[in-house]
Structure 1
């Protein structure tokens, strides 16, 4: 089969598009003929984390397709079923943190940037009917991350004000859509006027420049929950804009990941600071039910062929996207 492979060199220079052996199905596994796969910033990080000396690795965490073969003892799936891949390996039930041994598909295991993938039968879920193949393929990792951030960790509720600095990523566009679905108020920031306008078209109530004075721009707002994924560039601005007793949930850092805070300001403000990453299979199923209930679709920015991997990875690296980037394998 054809696949995007990382080998021989660290970083993006180690990427190639080549013929590799089609994976074989074992007991309790299913083979999925992929129709679409989704990109995440993790894919770029993996090109630096994966050791070139450890052999070739098929990248990719997100995907959707049709089951083409089932292994021995597979009872819940059959050939022809349309499924999405659960990229979180080894996290079955909701818990305060991932269990020991939790991994994300695409490192160390081969991922979704190929024509086929073999995966345990309990790591696929039924594809929502209202989604196209591309929409289903880009969905799982980012949507699950946003769902856990908002509902499990942030405990958002109707009427809350949620702030999303640096709108444009897959996770934050899902967070915007999820928050609006439960009638929360949403504030977004970006350095791009185009991204601010797109966010407003999706329902954002307030959209401001990331480099502006947030306290002046939002002096009439009360931020209950802030989703922080930028890092050092915005973290202290985030800490100074949430209401006393408010909550910051952080799931990543696109700028420097080391920050310094005024601890006295923090404890006087009675703030809550929570971490989050991905989510469990139980939360994935809840997220899929939620998007079906509200007929939510991913915001798809662009799609590429697998052979266009070089342009696709650099497009993602330069943060040009608003929403998700996908590979079309149909």
Structure 2
């Protein structure tokens, strides 16, 4: 098969012929039609990730067709169109992943390839209303967004929700999900164009986080503080989120792209009775519930741009530039 292979830190991914995997006991072989990029892929390429190993086939997100079954895999999965849960081996405690938890694309070869072998329990039927390219955007980003908003954030209809850094795949999926749940969503971004596009997806409004004292302006515009805030940046701007939160509010953060918070406004946290909640990926049940939500509300993820598998390095550079609105997708094989 053909696959994009990363041979070392700061090396470009290259299209190579590699052995097609054979599904082991309890596994299925998925012929991939599409795969989606995540920042994780860029961080691995730059050497900014734990447990590096080379050569490696990157890619955590994928959708395709089951073409072969390992021993013990359910026969009903053969020839089924599926999407793949990128997180595997969560463990028995739903509160946090166990030591055996792993994400597809490192340490195991991932989805930037024509085929991938994964546990049968990691696949779920592709929502019929989505193309393979759209479905491929869901696994890691959709799971992260769902757990942040629902499992950890406990979003309720009618609540005001703020989603920071809209434009990235997880933030946009979180926006679509909370709007579907009946919440009132607001956004921040460094781009006025991205805010305008978010409004078209259902956001009530937004503001540039470059605006001086933006929390006061936005909470006035929204009619009050935010019951739930979903963030991926952390860093020096985290205290702005504390200012924007309503008394008794929850701040869920699933990333720290701007680094650690240098000086937490602890007094405001306890005086406002805030809950700070960490979240990442999700359980198998979170994954199933996320797909159910997408099907129930016929949600369509936003695809930023589609590249051929051979253009994988170009796609990674677009991800690295941070200019995308939605998910970047590799089209691997046209669905028959």
TM-score normalized with structure 1 length: 0.95
1:272 alignment counterpart: 275
Decide whether the 8 Å contact of 1:299 with 1:322 is kept in 2: yes
Post-superposition shift, 1:51? 7.0
Q: Which residue does the alignment assign to 1:23?
A: 21
Q: 1:75 to 1:217 in 2, by over 3 A?
A: closer
Shift in Å, 1:55: 3.4
Q: Is the 8 A contact 1:186 1:204 kept in 2?
A: yes
Contact 2:235–2:260 (8 Å) recurs in 1? yes
**Cα offset, 1:274, TM superposition:** 0.3
Instruction: Provide the residue aligned with 2:323 in structure 1.
Output: 320
Distance 1:140 1:224, change over 3 A: same
Partner SS state of residue 249, structure 1? strand
The residue that corresponds to 2:299 in the other structure is 296
Between the aligned partners of 2:314 and 2:176, the Cα distance in structure 1 is 28
- Could you tell me which residue of structure 1 aligns to residue 209 of structure 2? 210
Q: 1:106 maps to which residue? A: 105
- Does the CA contact (< 8 Å) of 2:233 and 2:258 recur in 1? yes
Residues in 2 aligned to 1:51 and 1:156: alpha-carbon distance in whole angstroms: 34
In structure 2, C-alpha distance between the alignment counterparts of 1:192 and 1:111, rounded to whole Å: 32
For 1:178 and 1:263, locate their aligned partners in 2 and report how far apart those are by CA, in whole Å.
Answer: 30
CA contact (8 A) 1:66 1:83 kept: yes
Matches within 5 A, 1:254-273: 254-273=257-276
Structure 2 counterpart of 1:3: 3
The SS at the match of 1:25 is coil
Q: CA deviation at 1:100?
A: 2.1
Q: In the alignment, is the contact (CA less than 8 A) between 2:12 and 2:313 conserved in 1?
A: no
CA contact (8 A) 1:231 1:259 kept: no
Tell me the equivalent position of 1:180: 179
Deviation at 1:151, TM superposition (A): 0.6
Output the aligned Cα RMSD: 1.5
TM-score (norm 2): 0.93
Q: Deviations over 1:123-149 (max 9, x none)?
A: 111111111010111111101111100
Query: Would you say how many aligned residue pairs link Structure 1 and Structure 2?
Result: 327
Write out per-residue CA displacement over residues 204-225 of structure 1, whole angstroms, 9 at most, x where no aligned residue. Answer: 0021111122212322322100
5 Å-filtered alignment, 1:80-95, equals 80-91=79-90, 95=94
The 3-state SS of whatever aligns with 1:234 is helix
The runs of 5 or more residues in structure 1 that have no matched partner are: none
Secondary structure, counterpart of 1:77 in structure 2 = helix
Q: Return 5+ residue gaps in structure 2 as ranges.
A: none
* CA distance in structure 2 between the aligned counterparts of 1:17 and 1:329, rounded to whole angstroms: 12
Match for residue 34 of structure 1? Answer: 32
| 1:46-65 equivalent positions in 2, closer than 5 A | 46-47=44-45, 48=47, 49=49, 54-65=53-64
Once the two structures are overlaid, the 10-residue window that deviates more, 239-248 or 93-102, is 93-102
Offset, 1:320 = 0.9
Shift of 1:158: 0.3
SS of 1:60's equivalent in the other structure is: coil
* Distance in 1 (alpha carbons) for counterparts of 2:295 and 2:93: 20
